[in-house]
Amino acid sequence: MARNGVVASQRWRSDGDVSSQQQPPADSVVADEVHVLAVDDSLIDRKVIERLLRNSSYKVTVVDSGVRALQFLGLDGEEKKTSSIGAFDSLKIKVDLIITDYCMPEVTGYDLLKKIKGSSTLREIPVVIMSSENVVTRIDRCLEEGAEDFIVKPVKPSDVARLRGYMATSEPSVRVNKRKQRESCESCSSLSTASSTSSSISSSPSLSPSPPSSASPTPMSISEPSSPSPSPSPPMSQSVSAPCSPSLSEE
């Protein structure tokens, strides 16, 4: 079952053959294995994302809140340590990618993203945001804050296949707004967005189109960087009682 809470892991070299089916002991992360931290407050979505990620042979740690994610990453007040003996380093946790839900109580996916990108030790870790709501301003906001991608739920295997491309990245010199790039690609290709599984009333197109009835990935290679994204979207206020209902300013 998903391991919530703080897990202290240590690196060790594995000379043996590590089958991806077999779970290594809970307190170890094998070096060279890709480790993904998944954050979602929905029990169902945690179970699904964990299975999706494990199926891709990733080592997975799943936590149920932004707060726990910050604890795991050593960002809960420990971030002031700038020396190499920071909490994160001493725990020797290797995280290659963070995938997080947007709508979570207390610490949203966006808050988590900001903290990670604001941390000298962690800012290089690619962060991917997931949301059941396809809100353009929300997507842009996350991308501009440094998210690698924004996945509209439900998460598909093709979305997970795309994650591999975000890891082992060198710093991009120019931020590319993937939503805009994808949309301009869509208009010139014949990819159908009718394959969207959404049956909701709002009929905005799915952000991550996949070929109908196929789980193969649709790689979007960035051949040349487009111009830097325009000025950030206007600050939005989210109502305190329902932090993730898209407020009028967000639509």
Q: How far apart are CA 10 and CA 209, in angstroms?
A: 38
For residue 19, state whether it binds another protein (rule: CB under 8 A): yes
Q: Is 213 left (phi over 0), alpha (psi -120 to 50) or beta?
A: left
* β pairing state of 28-30 and 10-12: parallel
For another protein, which residue of 184, 202, 216, 249 counts as binding (CB under 8 A)?
202
For another protein, which residue of 24, 28, 94, 154 counts as binding (CB under 8 A)?
154
For residue 52, state whether it binds another protein (rule: CB under 8 A): yes
Query: Which residue(s) pair with 62 in the sheet?
Result: 38
Q: What is the DSSP string of 97-157?
A: EEEEES--SSS-HHHHHHHHHT-TTTTTS-EEEEESS--HHHHHHHHHHT-SEEEESSP-H
Among the listed ranges 36-44, 64-72, 86-94, 173-181, the one in contact with another protein (CB under 8 A) is 36-44
Smallest CA-to-CA distance from 156 within 210, 193, 206 is with 210
For residue 55, state whether it binds another protein (rule: CB under 8 A): yes
For another protein, which residue of 73, 75, 93, 103 counts as binding (CB under 8 A)?
103
For another protein, which residue of 170, 190, 213, 237 counts as binding (CB under 8 A)?
213
For another protein, which residue of 7, 29, 36, 45 counts as binding (CB under 8 A)?
45
Q: Which is nearer to another protein, 75 or 130 (CB)?
A: 130
For residue 57, state whether it binds another protein (rule: CB under 8 A): yes
For another protein, which residue of 35, 115, 141, 156 counts as binding (CB under 8 A)?
156
Q: Which is nearer to another protein, 41 or 79 (CB)?
A: 41
Q: For tokens 């050593």, what's the residue? A: 74
Q: Provide the 10 A C-beta neighbour count for residue 179.
A: 18
> What does the chain come to in residues?
251
Q: How far apart are CA 151 and CA 154, in angstroms?
A: 8
For residue 193, state whether it binds another protein (rule: CB under 8 A): no
Instruction: Give the interface with another protein as residue ranges (CB under 8 A).
Output: 19-21, 42-45, 47-48, 51-52, 55, 57, 103, 132, 153-154, 156-157, 195, 197-202, 212-213, 215, 239, 241-242, 244-245
